[in-house]
């Protein structure tokens, strides 16, 4: 079976071409049916490919001179997108030359270029940034939005829930992922009116959608493993994500400091090393790399700018799996099941006419 190519922005990320190509090569070993379009400076890409003949044989290079820097504002990036590796990778998706694009570049620029170039799917007002976070359960948890939309209404949250559930069915294998809205409490009366409206809509549509919705969850429950999808606006989601990541680094640094404070603690470290290695693996962001812009007419995946080769490989692997499982089509089917009326909730009267 022939599968779509994945376009790789080879110039994005802190480490540039070498890590992006090495990560793509690692991913190619796991998903050998995929081919790649490597976008960026051709001489640099060719030099990096010399160490990876397997990737070289399954790739085409699209040369471009321009690179979006981490400091550029989205408006600046949009004006010169057509001449950059990021812009050309997304354009390849728009033109059908690739099924998805992966970049480790500027997140704001990537979001802006992807949204303008690919547009949102029918029935979706705004795309959302979704990522997998580690949990104590058997599966990771899908969380969205993580920063694409700082202000959302209840209709947006319902759409995010539909998109997140479709992603979770691919990521977790659950036929009906457990979906919750992030709130300051689990009681039905807690939170803002828009949260309660979104909850009411999702609850009333539970028989139409392939998800299990049961109200709210709190931030301290995100990684417990008893929920598959956490839905929130981009402002709260980004804060929650950074709090989780900061806590993980705090725990790691605290353990490192404790285990090096004395000879006795160093001996204790050697004894407990299997457990600490497991903790390190579980909290390593490279093992959960790959945030997805859901709701666009095409897949775009964001890799951490600081990701190593294994992290880039995970982002590419996420992309490959979403393409294999046709997550965009799954979202369309769920939107059709829910129908248009609920998705017009809170829309101004003149827009409904």
Lowest mean pLDDT among 2-6, 282-286, 326-330: 282-286
What is the structure's pLDDT at 340? 55
Residue 252 CB neighbour total at 10 angstroms: 15
Instruction: Provide the residue ranges of all domains of the chain, joining segments of one domain with +.
Output: 1-118, 122-288+326-353
pTM (predicted TM-score): 0.83
Q: State which H helix or E strand residue 253 sits in.
A: helix 234-259
What token pair was written down for 205? 């549509």
User: 8 has which bridge partners?
Assistant: 38, 102
The widest CA-to-CA distance across the chain, in whole angstroms, is 74
pLDDT (average), residues 31-58: 90
Does 1-118 match 122-288+326-353 in CATH topology? yes
Q: Which CATH superfamily does the domain covering 122-288+326-353 fall into?
A: Isopropylmalate Dehydrogenase (3.40.718.10)
* Coil vs helix vs strand at 150: coil
- Which CATH code is given to the segment(s) 1-118? 3.40.718.10
pLDDT tens digits along 67-113: 998 888 888 888 898 999 999 999 999 999 999 999 988 888 999 99
Q: What percent of the chain has pLDDT over 70?
A: 86
User: 142 has which bridge partners?
Assistant: 132, 229
- What residues contact residue 53 under an 8 Å CB cut-off, 6+ apart? none
What is the structure's pLDDT at 248? 74
């Amino acid at each position: 079976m022939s599968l779509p190519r994945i376009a790789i922005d080879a110039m994005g990320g802190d480490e540039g071409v070498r890590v992006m190509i090495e990560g793509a090569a690692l991913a190619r070993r796991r998903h050998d049916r995929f081919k790649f379009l490597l976008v960026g400076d051709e001489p640099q890409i060719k030099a990096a490919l010399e160490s990876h003949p397997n990737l070289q044989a399954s790739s085409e290079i699209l040369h471009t001179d321009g690179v979006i820097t981490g400091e550029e504002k989205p408006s600046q990036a949009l004006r010169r997108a057509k001449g950059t590796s990021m812009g050309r990778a997304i354009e390849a998706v728009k033109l059908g030359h690739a099924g998805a694009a992966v970049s480790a570049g500027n997140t704001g620029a990537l979001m802006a270029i992807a949204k303008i170039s690919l547009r949102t799917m029918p029935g979706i007002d705004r795309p959302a940034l979704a990522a997998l976070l580690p949990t104590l359960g058997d599966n990771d948890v899908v969380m969205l939005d993580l920063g694409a939309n700082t202000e959302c209404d209840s209709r947006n949250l319902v759409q995010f829930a539909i998109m997140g559930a479709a992603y979770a069915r691919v990521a977790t294998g659950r036929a009906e992922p457990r979906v919750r809205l992030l709130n300051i409490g689990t009681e039905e009366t807690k939170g803002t009116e828009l949260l309660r409206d979104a909850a009411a809509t999702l609850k009333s549509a539970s028989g139409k959608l392939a998800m299990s919705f049961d109200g709210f969850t709190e931030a301290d429950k995100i990684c417990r493993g008893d929920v598959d999808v956490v839905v929130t606006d981009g402002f709260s989601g980004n804060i929650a994500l950074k709090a989780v990541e900061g806590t993980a680094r705090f725990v790691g640094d605290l353990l490192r400091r404790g285990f090096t404070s004395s000879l006795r603690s160093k001996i204790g470290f050697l004894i407990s090393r299997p457990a600490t290695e497991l903790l390190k693996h579980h909290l390593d962001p490279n093992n959960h790399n790959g945030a997805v812009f859901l709701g666009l007419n095409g897949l775009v995946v964001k890799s951490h700018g600081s990701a190593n080769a294994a992290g880039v490989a995970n982002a590419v692997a996420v992309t490959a799996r979403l393409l294999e499982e046709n997550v965009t089509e799954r979202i369309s089917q769920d939107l059709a099941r829910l129908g248009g009326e609920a998705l017009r909730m809170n829309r101004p009267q003149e827009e409904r006419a």
